[in-house]
Structure 1
Amino acid sequence: MHTTIYTLFKQGYNKSQIARLLNVDRKTVRKVIQDIEQKGEVERKSKNSVLDNYRQFIEAKVNKGLSAKKIYQDLQAEFGFEGSYSNVRRYVQKVKQKIANSKVYMVLTTLPAEEAQVDFGYIGKIKVDGKFKKAWVFTMVLSYSRYMYAEIVFDQTVETFIQCHKNAFKYFGGVVEVVKIDNLKAGVLNVDFYEAQIQKDYASFASHYGFLPQPCRVYTPTDKGKVESAVKYVKQNCFSGEEFKDIDEAREHLKNWLDDVANVRVHGTTKKVPKEVFLSEEKEKLIALPIEEYHISRSSIHKVTTNCHLIYKGNYYSVPYEYAGYEVEVVEMGSFLRVFFEGKEIALHQIVKNNEKGKYVTNKEHYPSSKNITIEDILSRQRDKMAEIGNWALEFFEEFIKQEGFKKYDYRSISGIIALKERYGAEAVDNACKRALSFRGLSYKVVKNICEKGISDLPVYEDESYINEGTTELYRDIKEYNKLLEMGELQR
């Protein structure tokens, strides 16, 4: 309304005409015109869009080159978005325009020995042991002098990534303060704008060598522009159009190219020779190489079973129960086995030696408290509960666990006797234990049968015995008497 009033005023309409045209008070018109002429025109407030909540998601999709239609479908699938496609289309157009307007960037300058940038570049297939294998070139370039190191590799694992760094630092004769890395799995576990999670082995290596690993921002190629240009240069100038009979010839060619071409040419950006700048201004400022060698640990992925163990080289090692069913990283370091989940160490064990198999290495603290109980703990609790029933029950317990052939899992029999208390009462169970002791019937079934038949209160005569002191033709196993009791043939 303010804009409309002032526009009409500038077109020659007087205040009364404007008031009649817009159906507003003449005083309001006068006040608006005075305010605008004194303070300037009021900026139109921008309206918030419902898609602002998904802005980062949409920007990432736009950077990947996805169409507005595809982004609309992804919003529906991943977030249950209920807005219209036309709204998404207009929003995507605005995002594209903003990205187009933000392609400008600052030139990032560094001090001598302050920074290096690393990356891989695919160079085709090279013959190894008579077979062609996919090959990449690892490149590290010093940001200040543009002095570079490169080598041929056949994978991008953590071990290879670290070894390439070691070779590069040895080539330079020292270490830089910061190494900028692309968001490779070998170096970065979790890509995050504010706090990326560095792969633990690479982080340990960086700590040992004294440099800071710095992941580049996603979709921001200018963060590592120097190494991207260097990789492109290596691929085109060193490898393009070349054919090698084997890997040895390819490596020799790359080594000579670095020394005779790449590091001694006049750099296109700095207009200086990288090797000359490196030797005169940068080399002496590098961090000294560590005295002790860094040994790369061997790691592998394993799944934790429901019994809270993982299998490693034929043996079983416990893991905290919270990680049952998850995949964890297992690292063998010397005589120890370290277990990691998302970069955090969750278990440490001594490795089983002498090539033994099938052994369980268990930390009881890895189980929940409800499961973390030993047989000895169970028997101790049962002793207390039998004592609560009575002295005869306690004596029955002591005789039961001392009998020949007792196995620890037989504690279930005692659990059964304790459970009889709820049905027959402590006194009846105690007397039943007394009667069972008299007949040396040290079993749950005997005590149960005595309680069921109601004979727990019958007297036990000390001068009579139902047990043969020695084996005779009349000897019967106690189990046969149990059967007679069940059949009702035996009364007392």
Structure 2
Amino acid sequence: MEKWKMYMDIYQMKQQGFKIRRIARKLGVSRTTVYKYLEKSPEEIAEWMASTQKRKRKLDQYELLIHTWLSEHPDLSGAQVHDWLKERYPNVTVGESTVRGYVKEMREKYNIPKEIYPRSYEAVPELPMGQQAQVDFGQTKQKTANGQTKKLYVICFVLSHSRYKYAEWLDRPFTTKDVMRAHENAFAYFGGAPIEIVYDQDALIVVSENGGDLILTEEFQKYHIQRKFQLYVCRKSDPESKGKVENSVKFIKQNFAKNRVYRHIDQWNEQSMSWLERTGNGKVHNTTKKKPAEVFSVEKRHLKPITKKITISPLDLSIARTVRKDNTVLHESNRYSVPLGTYNKQKEVYVFVTDAQTLQIRETKAGPIIAEHKICEKKGELIQETQHKRDRSKGIPAYMVTVSKNFTDERKAMAFLKNIQTHFPRYIRDQLKIILKAIQDVPFQTRDEALKECINRNFYSATEFKDMVTYIEKQRCAVETTVGEIKQRSNELPTTYESMKPKVRELDVYLEILEGAPK
């Protein structure tokens, strides 16, 4: 009915002499839409409306999911819905404009108005390639998996020409050393540094403006001297001076962070990097009408090369990290190994970066070093020490020799263990562990008897061996109990017989008997 009403309004306004531009402005549609309606007759409009009602759209299969998102988060934008769909269904081939239109229809259909918080900015002239980057901070409050709220902090870098972005998150407020480390990470991500960097008057960087003579914090002043880039600080209450990064922070908060569930800071940063590649730098920018990643491929050649990464002092900057299930620790998008068995669901370790470009991992801030690695400049790499890996070529044979020494006949025991390895090649280590545990407090006689019975019965399994040991031990204990009871009973005489004495006869009686029968 809405399409039919639109057609009638356009038709009547055209009959009244309105121009196409005026009709489009009056009805709030594009001129293309007006032309499309005017080209059709009433019969054709009726047929077209009937066909659209029967036609199944690509997004219909996601209608329930999108409705759930909009119901839970009324301020969700069509662009964010498009990004969430691509994140969950990478093979989806629907354009962003199609998703926006579909979301608009769903809002009208289910009466879900969008919450809007407007903010205005002033345009800033475009700058040449490699000239400037802008830096700003942001904060968000995220829902956790258990329903609580977690405050997160983000620092964002954006190259002014290409709008190419980098973002780094922390679950605590930034320190000056964090800011310096984020600069180094951003330069590594960009593959170079711009000539000029624009900042807000943040206390981590600037102590005082002092009438144009900037007074920087002591630590950042040293860093600024080392990197030798031009520094520009905006005036107070002047966000338009760095409007590009202001918009970028807003984009990150509204498109990536809003309504996303927080679990851990490492995972959050991983998701943020994926979002940057997928949407933040991979989506067409509304102002430049180009993808930042494509423009950056040209701009990066104009950045100043970074020959050596500046290392932040290790003991002043410790980073808490969670040990992952594969006994690794994530640091700057790389995985560094820790000794096997370090993983625990609640286990946290502390990471330090030394001046020698090595990564030290400690159980506590002042505790012993449990792992030390040379820092890798690449991304997505696994850095693993040989001693942190399980030596599968030597470990199993040595383990089998150790187990076989717990039997009288080591050769027979080794043959038995090799048969188990044949039946359970993937779980031989676990099988040997079960056998060792089963014979831990068992005498050699029971071990040997259990081994003999398992071989005779073709029982080549650690579980069956364990059951056999348990059975033999029970039988042995039962026999010992029975023998003990018999001995105890034989030694125990009733008290009524203790005072009794046998009758004593005279010796003549026995002599008379022994002399034989009477003559």
TM-score band, normalised by shorter chain = 0.3 to 0.5
TM-score (ref. length: structure 1): 0.37
